[in-house]
């Protein structure tokens, strides 16, 4: 039985630990918090997971909350523009695309704590200890493979930044999350729950998404603000109540259609808010210990994208699934650095399209992208295809990045729907108010 150490009890670390455990490996998992501390702690993310990532959990029979969590069956996009009267905003674009397979969000406090309990119940060694590089240097002699799935602090510093794959050197958004009860329904598409993406050009984005949290069904209000802009206002927030007040003030100013259903919301609990910012970074996957040993980075240790496209938990699940397959396929051969690099590159084939798309969405959109988003308001197949790209970002390569491909796709979609004359391209406008 091969002995493996995993450091970090998030989506990728726990999924991989439970997967290896189910395959008969001798797995030790290190976490800096207990399951109870995780369950009662601060919210950690927004974690909307799409069909492919959910399938990886189903494959391991870890989808314990699937029948309780809201089913997100669509993805809506609104674009805010200045209203005709000074000081207000209205929707210049508003549409919703249907997902081929539903998405779900389960508060990571619920999921990670539950998975930690299951790992221990199944006989796994769960060590509660904040690991330092010196700890790994000592422990690595006892294990055939050490995987680092803790993406912050000293351990992450072992993995150098891959400059060729990391176009940004500073945070591109300030992040502010609030979990709330009491959000009213959207009048548009009331037949299904949808994740809502509200784009405020030049300022940032608001995401609204149903979730399952420690107190049942809830919604997440998530602002991403361009640093220094009018949405970047959470740095000096002193308490959760003030955080919610500022969240609602921004809704009222920039997305009044969302504010109209948020007038009675309240925080789900005292730890229901989160503020932060970080630089999107791809790191080299092999870290070196002082003694010369090698460790392999997992999940957001090696690929940390801004959450603007909701890819974080999805890539973490995909990474864990890819690594699990590579470890099992290795049999009894050594986990040397060549294998580690090859294992990451195999995952990078999945992560690269998501990273390319996410980095593109952090920049001001070029005209052809605005055209594409606008066309989705009149062409349902375009809306559906963009929505399903959140599950399979590789599809964006065929119609999103290149203006000629995008224009041809919109033209063909319009002709198929009988909406456009041959050669015509939509201008991407249309007032939804």
pLDDT digits (tens, 9 = 90+) for 346-405: 999 999 999 999 999 999 999 999 999 999 999 999 999 999 999 999 999 999 999 999
Assigned CATH for 3-63+106-168+279-359 = 3.50.50.60
CATH of 72-105+173-276, one of 3.30.565.10, 3.40.109.10, 3.30.9.40, 2.60.40.420: 3.30.9.40
Tell me the mean pLDDT in the region 178-182.
98
The pLDDT value recorded for residue 154 is 84
Contacts of 355 by beta carbon, 8 Å cutoff, 6+ apart = 165, 280, 282, 303, 305, 311
Q: For residue 415, how far is the Cα from the chain centroid?
A: 34
Whether this model's pTM surpasses 0.85: yes
pLDDT digits (tens, 9 = 90+) for 138-159: 999 999 999 999 967 789 889 9
What is the Cα–Cα distance from 305 to 96, expressed in whole angstroms?
A: 24
Cβ atoms of 81 and 200 within 8 Å: the answer is: no
Written as six digits, the tokens of 337 are 């650095």
Query: What band does 420 get if pLDDT is binned at 50, 70 and 90?
Result: low
Written as six digits, the tokens of 80 are 């805010």
Concatenate the DSSP letters of all residues of 117-177 into one string. HHHHHTT-EEEE----HHHHHHHGGG-SEEEE---SHHHHTTS-B-GGG---SS---EEEE
Q: How many C-beta atoms surround the C-beta of residue 334 within 10 A?
A: 10
Query: What band does 111 get if pLDDT is binned at 50, 70 and 90?
Result: very high
pLDDT digits (tens, 9 = 90+) for 336-356: 999 999 999 999 999 999 999
Residues listed for the chain: 433
Query: What band does 186 get if pLDDT is binned at 50, 70 and 90?
Result: confident
Same fold, 3-63+106-168+279-359 and 72-105+173-276: no
Cβ atoms of 408 and 423 within 8 Å: the answer is: no
The pLDDT value recorded for residue 261 is 95
Domain extent listing, the chain: 3-63+106-168+279-359, 72-105+173-276, 367-417
């Amino acid at each position: 039985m091969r002995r493996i150490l995993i450091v970090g009890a998030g989506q990728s670390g726990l999924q991989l630990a439970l997967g290896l455990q189910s395959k008969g490996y001798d797995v030790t998992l290190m976490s800096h918090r207990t399951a109870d501390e995780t369950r009662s702690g601060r919210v950690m993310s927004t974690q909307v997971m799409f069909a492919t990532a959910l399938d990886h959990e189903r494959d391991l029979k870890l989808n314990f909350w699937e029948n309780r969590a809201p089913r997100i069956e669509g993805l809506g996009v609104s674009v805010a523009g200045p209203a005709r009267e000074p000081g207000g905003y209205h929707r210049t674009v508003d549409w919703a695309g249907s997902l081929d397979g539903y998405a779900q969000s389960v508060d990571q406090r619920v999921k990670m704590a539950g998975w930690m309990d299951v790992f221990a119940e199944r006989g796994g060694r769960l060590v509660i200890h904040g690991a330092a590089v010196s700890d790994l240097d000592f422990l690595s002699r006892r294990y055939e493979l050490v995987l680092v799935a803790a993406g912050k602090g000293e351990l992450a510093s072992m993995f150098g930044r891959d400059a060729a794959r990391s176009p940004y050197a500073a945070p591109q958004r300030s992040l502010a999350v609030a979990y709330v009860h009491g959000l009213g329904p959207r009048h548009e598409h009331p037949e299904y729950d949808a994740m809502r993406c509200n784009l405020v050009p030049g300022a940032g984005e608001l995401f609204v998404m149903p979730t399952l949290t420690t107190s049942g069904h809830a919604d997440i209000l998530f602002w991403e603000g361009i640093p220094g802009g009018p949405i970047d206002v959470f740095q000096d927030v002193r308490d959760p109540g003030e955080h919610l007040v500022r969240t609602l003030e921004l809704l009222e100013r920039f997305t009044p259609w969302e504010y109209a259903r948020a007038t009675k919301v309240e925080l789900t609990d005292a730890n229901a808010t989160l503020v932060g910012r970080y630089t999107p970074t791809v790191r080299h996957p092999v870290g070196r210990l002082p003694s010369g040993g090698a460790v392999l980075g997992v999940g957001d240790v090696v690929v940390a994208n801004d959450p603007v496209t909701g890819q974080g938990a999805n890539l973490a699940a995909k990474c864990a699934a890819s690594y699990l397959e590579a470890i099992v396929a290795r049999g009894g051969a050594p986990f040397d650095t060549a294998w580690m690099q090859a294992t990451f590159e195999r995952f990078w084939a999945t992560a690269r399209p998501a990273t390319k798309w996410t980095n593109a969405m952090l920049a001001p959109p070029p005209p052809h992208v605005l055209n594409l988003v606008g066309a989705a308001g009149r062409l349902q197949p375009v809306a559906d295809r963009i929505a399903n790209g959140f599950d399979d970002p590789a599809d964006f390569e065929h119609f999103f990045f290149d203006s000629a491909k995008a224009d041809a796709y919109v033209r063909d979609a319009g002709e198929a729907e009988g909406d456009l004359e041959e050669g015509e391209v939509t201008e991407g406008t249309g007032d939804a108010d």
